[in-house]
A and B are shown apart, each in its own frame.
Chain A
Amino acid sequence: MAKHEKPSFVYVIHIAATPDSVWQALTEGALTRQYWYGRRADSDWKVGSPVTFWYETGSGEAVSDRGIMLESKRPRHLSYTWQVQFIEEMRDENPSRVTFDIELEGEDTKLTLTHNELEAGGKVLEAVRNGWPAILSSLKSLLETGEPLALTKVDQVAADAAA
Chain B
Amino acid sequence: MKTTQPTTYITYIHATPQKVWDALTTPAFTRQYFFGRAIELEPKVGGAFALRMEDGRTDTEGKVLAWDPPRRLSVSWHVVWLEEFRHLPECIVTFDLEPAGEMVKLTMTEDHPTPIEERYLEGGRQGWPLILSGLKTLVETGRPLPKFAPMAPGEA
Which of A's residues lie within 8 Å of B, judged by CB? 11-16, 105-108, 110, 133-134, 137-138, 140-141, 144-145, 147, 149-151
Q: Does B103 contact A (CB under 8 A)?
A: yes
Q: How large is the interface on B (under 10, 10 to 19, 20 to 34, 35 or more residues)?
A: 20 to 34
Q: How many Å from the CB of A141 to the closest CB on chain B?
A: 6
If A13-B129, A14-B133, A16-B137 touch, whether A108 touches B12 (CB-CB below 8 Å) is no
Contact with A along B4-23 (1 / 0, CB 8 A): 00000011111000000000
Which of B's residues lie within 8 Å of A, judged by CB? 10-14, 100-103, 126, 129-130, 133-134, 136-137, 140-141, 143, 145-147
- The complex places the Cα of A144 from the Cα of B144 at a distance, in Å, of 11
- The complex places the Cα of A144 from the Cα of B13 at a distance, in Å, of 12
Q: How many Å from the CB of B102 to the closest CB on chain A?
A: 6
Which partner residue on chain B sits nearest A12 by CB separation? B129
Chain B residue numbers with a CB within 8 Å of A138 are: 12
Q: How many Å from the CB of A106 to the closest CB on chain B?
A: 5
Chain B residue numbers with a CB within 8 Å of A12 are: 126, 129-130
